[in-house]
Structure 1
Amino acid sequence: MKTGECKYGAQCRFHHPIDRPAVALSTTKPSQQENVKLTLAGLPRREGAVIYVYYLKTGACKYGATCRFDHPPPGEVVAMAASQGKSDSTGGKA
C-alpha cells in the first residue's frame, strides 16, 4: 500500500480502503514529503540524497513518488559526470 495501488485489483484477498490517499499510506515522514519536488515524470528530486542507480540505467522506478532516492534528469547526470571528471583529473604525469 505504499503507492496506493494493488496489482491484484478486485481479485486481491486483502482489504484496501478506497478513502485513504496514497500520501497517507507512505512510510516516510510527512515533513519530508512536503519538501520533495517531483520531476515531469512524477519522480522525486531529493537534493543531497543518493542518486538511484537503477533509474539511471533503465529510466524506470517502480516506487514512483514514494521512492527515497534522487531522480535527476538525464541531462543533469551527464553534466555532473563531466564536471566530476574534470575536477578529478590532476593533470600531473609521472
Structure 2
Amino acid sequence: MTTPTDWTNNGDRITRQFTFHDFTQAMAYMVEISFYCEKKNHHPEWKNIYNKLWVELTTHDAGGVTEKDMRLAQHMGDVFARYAKGTGQA
C-alpha cells in the first residue's frame, strides 16, 4: 500500500496535520468528513485546536493500517484541497 500524499506512515497508523483558515472552516471540514466516515463505518482519531486538526488513521481490528485507512486518507486529502482553494463549505 502506498501512503497518500502529505500523510506520514508510522507503522501501525498514518498521520497528518491539516491547517485551515479559521476554526469555523476546520469544524465545517470535520462535519463533512464525519458523514463520509459514518457511511463507510470507519472513523479517525482526531484532535482539533482552533484552525489545526491532527488526524491518525488505523484499523484497530486489523492491528494496523488497511485499505480502509488509505481510502479515508485519500478522501480527506481530496476534501481538504477544496477548502485550501477556498471552495469548501465554510
TM-score by length of 2: 0.26
The structure with the largest helix share of the pair is 2
The structure with the largest strand share of the pair is 2
